[in-house]
Structure 1
């Protein structure tokens, strides 16, 4: 298993989507450059349509049509990606959707029962996605990502469209999972409270073509992240509001 011991280094000099028909080309990203230390939880925020998801796709290797370079701290790091949609296969059970991330003989399959317990889905292990709520489906997606024991975890607004109590519970769950097995996380969100509760560092992108307008550390311990008042105070410090 690869282990990232040096920083992830991201340099995107230019990312442009070409013109299609009468639609002009779209210059999305420009002069993006940052390093991420192993075990960091980096929030990426900024205007809608500003290239945040495009940046994650480039880091994941899903988009190689750009000027620049992404360098990892090891050869062939283990990368997991959690999208806005849980992307569960409807004909597979909760357990099977999690197991699908691994080869049939992978020893990490033995970790699934414990992960199901951690995310509160033991009783739903044999249920199909249509039988469980959206919040539970997102917990399945989290378990599927963590069963990979990733070196790098990319998350693109994974809790969007959920009601506040469900989203808050999932943030708490993510902090717990991450604190038990620290991995390098890059997390896209528009939610400033979510950014402060989860992140160790916040990268704010400018309007397009996006560049890094601000790079701010979050001054909260893991324990503080469960304290709403401390989260709000840190939100005021960083964003000037709560």
Structure 2
């Protein structure tokens, strides 16, 4: 583990604008974002669709450099992982080979692949190709690939979107268990309020337009309470002021 795990993340986006193009005027997306994130916390970004959650995640990941501000992730040795909405598994490679691609040749973590496949419920599926797996199983494989590198920061952009409720709920429970076994700093994007409360230790809500952070709440649920639907619903009511 790198020393970055012991340092808070310092995220500051003064302004992000999509420039004018053709007949389209310049579009302000983000403004006055200032977040400090403690190591090994699970922070959820939530807000209306199109408010800039994924844009902010891409800025944190270093995939978008066209903004005003500064992203402090603890230093150049910080390992950053990214799990996207799509599992992004290469169809011509097996599940095991897809996970191996995340690791350098000779990395001792290659020996942990069978272990993490078992942890995500894919024991015995390492030799299968993605097309033979359900979408839920593909997303389990993406979780395994995201955690096998032991990243200091793991970014997750709505990784359970478009799944049926039982499959999504099962994957949330799996993610909680996996994060407890392999703690890392997670920044997770979702528009699902139940998912936000079930997973997050802290929830940051973004406004709808020219987005900024409008609320910052700590989730008070214990690990065991996060699978209790009544307790999750009560906490959701408290944080989001639902009745």
Shorter-chain TM-score: what band? over 0.9
Q: Quote the Cα distance in structure 2 between the aligned partners of 1:226 and 1:112.
A: 27
TM value normalised by structure 2: 0.97
1:73: how far off?
A: 2.5
Q: Secondary structure at the match of 1:84?
A: coil
Aligned to 1:94: 95
Q: Assess if the C-alpha contact under 8 Å between 1:6 and 1:74 holds in 2.
A: no
Aligned to 1:72: 73
Q: Quote the Cα distance in structure 1 between the aligned partners of 2:133 and 2:73.
A: 37
TM value normalised by structure 1: 0.98
Establish whether residue 33 from structure 1 lines up as the match of residue 53 from structure 2. no
Q: Quote the Cα distance in structure 2 between the aligned partners of 1:106 and 1:51.
A: 36
* CA offsets 1:189-225 (integer angstroms, 9 cap, x no match): 0110000000000000012200101001101111111
Q: Secondary structure at the match of 1:194?
A: helix
Aligned to 1:140: 141
1:104: how far off?
A: 1.9
Q: Quote the Cα distance in structure 1 between the aligned partners of 2:192 and 2:149.
A: 27
Q: Secondary structure at the match of 2:45?
A: strand
Q: Assess if the C-alpha contact under 8 Å between 1:32 and 1:211 holds in 2.
A: yes
Q: Secondary structure at the match of 1:139?
A: helix
Q: Quote the Cα distance in structure 2 between the aligned partners of 1:139 and 1:173.
A: 9
Aligned to 2:83: 82
Q: Quote the Cα distance in structure 2 between the aligned partners of 1:239 and 1:211.
A: 17
Aligned to 1:113: 114
1:19: how far off?
A: 1.0
Q: Secondary structure at the match of 1:190?
A: coil
How many residues align structurally? 242
Q: Secondary structure at the match of 1:16?
A: strand
Aligned to 1:194: 195
1:124: how far off?
A: 1.2
Q: CA RMSD in A?
A: 1.0
Q: Assess if the C-alpha contact under 8 Å between 1:10 and 1:59 holds in 2.
A: yes
Aligned to 1:51: 52
1:182: how far off?
A: 1.2
Aligned to 1:2: 2
1:75: how far off?
A: 3.2
Aligned to 1:61: 62
1:2: how far off?
A: 2.3
Q: Secondary structure at the match of 1:122?
A: coil
Q: Quote the Cα distance in structure 1 between the aligned partners of 2:14 and 2:242.
A: 32
Aligned to 1:23: 24
Aligned to 1:103: 104
Q: Secondary structure at the match of 2:6?
A: coil
Q: Assess if the C-alpha contact under 8 Å between 1:2 and 1:74 holds in 2.
A: no
Q: Quote the Cα distance in structure 1 between the aligned partners of 2:89 and 2:76.
A: 29
1:64: how far off?
A: 0.9
1:151: how far off?
A: 0.4
Structure 1 portions without partners, runs of 5+: none
1:6: how far off?
A: 1.1
Q: Secondary structure at the match of 1:48?
A: coil
